[in-house]
């Protein structure tokens, strides 16, 4: 081999080394640029997702306020019509409560939409119609209270209020539909942004892997044995980190979706219970109207009993508030609300004081409704039979555990009690209903004449414990 060929090989080797160094520098620069670009893109996308999440929360709030406003309007109209038809003072309280709710919901809806000109204009249009309708309902109530029922009926028979109410329902329905569409579109944008964010993170990881690999290859040429072991360790570590990162992100996304779904289902369940209660309240009002038109005392008594029972079922549905698991309810809160509702609406309860004492027992949602109906039946029977001719007195309702730990429902009154010779527990349809409802919980109603007058009814409810345990599991 000549000196010229050796010099040529040395020159070729130096040229190859220079090219490798140049390629190495370019690879490092490209990797760093990719990492920086991906990091910037990830930050921008995260900020965009945060803004979109804020928009979604805003849309949820707007939609919920609009829905609550619609429900409040329907309740106010139902109570107004019920008061006009029956002149029952019990309708005034739900009417006033709904009227106050309308103002609160309308103010909230106006406040949260003030930054959106289109939404604000729509809300102002809706507000004008609502103000007109609420003023008409208030005028109707005033006329009935002033014993000017004919004028009130004339005001309603014009149909203007009904047309305005239909227009408001249609407008609010369109408003809610538009907000639902916005919510859907924003959720789609969030999903798209999430995919871009995942892509940016993957690109950043790819750039980091490429950079680490390039640097590692350089170190491998210097210390080959040590570089091979480090290469294996680093590769495994990177795969593990990527896997952990992906799993962590997937779990966070699944948790967020689950929480949103739980909130949506809870809202739907509450809304369904409320709507069922309102529908049954409408049926109760219709029965009350038929009661006023009936001349037969037997028919009137049957209609009054049916109306009371339908109202008790409506109250049980409206007052039901589910727990976080959406399957159970707290008996003390629920029964307290049901008892208040009975005291507020029962025409025979003006001179009677109702006292409730309830242990915080967790029961299944379905059985809570049944227990509310049972309480309504027992209290209604006591009001009907124990305090004739407007007699005053007290009805004590309790739900406590007996010495053996079995939950026991008791209704005790200090009224006139049973007539001499009348068998305990032997009565009309009310006694049959109480017995059948008690049997659903594995109990049997027990009747006791009180020494000082009155009657006590105790219903053991051992089946509630099984329901509670199943719901907890």
pLDDT digits (tens, 9 = 90+) for 150-180: 777 777 776 665 666 666 667 767 767 877 7
Is residue 455 within 8 A of residue 430, CB to CB? The reply is no
Q: Is a pLDDT exceeding 70 seen at residue 126?
A: yes
pLDDT single digits (tens) 371-388: 888 888 888 888 888 888
Contacts within 8 Å (CB) and 24+ apart, 218-225: 218/24
Instruction: Tell which residue, 262, 298, 385, 288, has the closest CA to residue 345.
Output: 288
- Spatial separation of the C-alpha atoms in residues 336 and 332, rounded to whole Å: 6
Residue owning tokens 């930054």: 115
Residue owning tokens 């590769």: 235
**Residues forming beta bridges with residue 455, ordered by sequence position:** 449
- Spatial separation of the C-alpha atoms in residues 416 and 89, rounded to whole Å: 27
Q: What percent of the chain clears pLDDT 90, i.e. is strictly above it?
A: 4
- Spatial separation of the C-alpha atoms in residues 257 and 268, rounded to whole Å: 16
1-10, 299-308, 352-361: which has the highest mean pLDDT?
Answer: 352-361
Largest CA distance in the chain: 139
Is residue 379 within 8 A of residue 397, CB to CB? The reply is yes
Question: Chain centroid to CA 442: how far?
Answer: 31
Contacts within 8 Å (CB) and 24+ apart, 90-93: 90/344, 90/345, 90/346, 90/347, 92/141, 93/344
* Cα separations in angstroms, 267 against 80, 171, 238: 27, 22, 44
Residue 152's pLDDT is: 74
- Spatial separation of the C-alpha atoms in residues 106 and 124, rounded to whole Å: 10
- Spatial separation of the C-alpha atoms in residues 388 and 382, rounded to whole Å: 10
The reported pTM is: 0.40
Structure tokens at 352: 């009677």
Give the start-to-end residue ranges of the domains of the chain: 17-222, 320-472
CATH topology of domain 320-472: Heat Shock Protein 90 (3.30.565)
pLDDT single digits (tens) 392-446: 889 999 999 988 889 999 999 988 877 665 665 555 677 788 888 888 888 889 8
For the beta carbon of residue 361, count every other beta carbon within 10 angstroms: 20
């Amino acid at each position: 081999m000549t000196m010229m060929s050796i010099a040529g090989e040395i020159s070729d080797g130096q040229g190859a080394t220079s090219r490798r160094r140049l390629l190495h520098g370019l690879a490092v620069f490209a990797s760093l640029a990719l990492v920086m670009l991906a990091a910037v893109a990830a930050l921008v996308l995260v900020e965009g997702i945060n803004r979109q999440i804020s928009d979604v929360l805003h849309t949820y709030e707007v939609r919920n306020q609009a829905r609550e406003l619609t429900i409040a309007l329907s309740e106010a109209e139902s109570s107004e019509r019920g008061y006009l038809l029956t002149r029952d003072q019990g309708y005034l309280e739900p009417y006033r409560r709904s009227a106050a709710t309308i103002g609160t919901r309308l103010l909230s809806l106006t406040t949260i939409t003030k930054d959106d000109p289109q939404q604000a204009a729509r809300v102002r249009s809706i507000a004008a119609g609502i103000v007109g309708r609420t003023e008409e309902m208030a005028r109707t109530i005033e006329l009935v209270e002033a014993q000017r029922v004919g004028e009130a009926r004339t005001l309603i028979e014009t149909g203007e209020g009904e047309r305005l109410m239909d227009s408001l329902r249609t407008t609010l329905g369109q408003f809610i539909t538009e907000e639902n569409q916005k919510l859907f579109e924003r959720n789609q944008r969030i999903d798209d942004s999430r995919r871009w964010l995942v892509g940016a993170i993957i690109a950043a990881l790819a750039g980091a892997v490429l950079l680490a690999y390039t640097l590692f290859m350089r170190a491998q040429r210097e210390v080959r044995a040590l570089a091979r072991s480090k290469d294996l360790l680093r590769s495994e570590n990177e795969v593990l980190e990527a896997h952990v990162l992906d799993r962590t992100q997937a779990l966070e996304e699944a948790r967020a979706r689950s929480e949103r779904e739980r909130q949506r289902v809870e809202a739907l369940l509450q809304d369904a219970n409320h709507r069922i209660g309102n529908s049954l309240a409408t049926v109760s009002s219709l029965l009350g109207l038929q009661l006023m038109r009936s001349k037969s005392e037997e028919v009137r008594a049957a209609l009054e009993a049916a109306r009371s029972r339908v109202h008790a079922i409506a109250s049980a549905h409206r007052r039901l508030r589910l727990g976080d698991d959406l399957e159970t309810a707290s008996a003390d809160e629920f029964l307290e609300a049901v008892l208040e509702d009975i005291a507020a609406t029962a025409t025979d309860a003006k001179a009677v004081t109702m006292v409730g004492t309830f242990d915080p027992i967790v029961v299944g949602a379905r059985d809570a409704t049944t227990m509310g109906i049972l309480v309504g039946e027992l209290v209604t029977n006591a009001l009907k039979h124990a305090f004739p001719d407007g007699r005053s007195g007290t009805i004590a309702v309790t739900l406590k555990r007996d010495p053996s730990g079995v939950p026991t429902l008791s209704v005790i009154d200090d009224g006139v009690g049973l007539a001499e010779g009348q068998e305990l527990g032997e009565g009309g349809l009310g006694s049959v209903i109480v017995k059948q409802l008690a049997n659903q919980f594995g109990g049997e109603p027990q009747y006791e004449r009180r020494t000082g007058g009155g009657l006590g009814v105790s219903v053991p409810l051992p089946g509630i414990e099984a329901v509670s345990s199943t719901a907890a599991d």
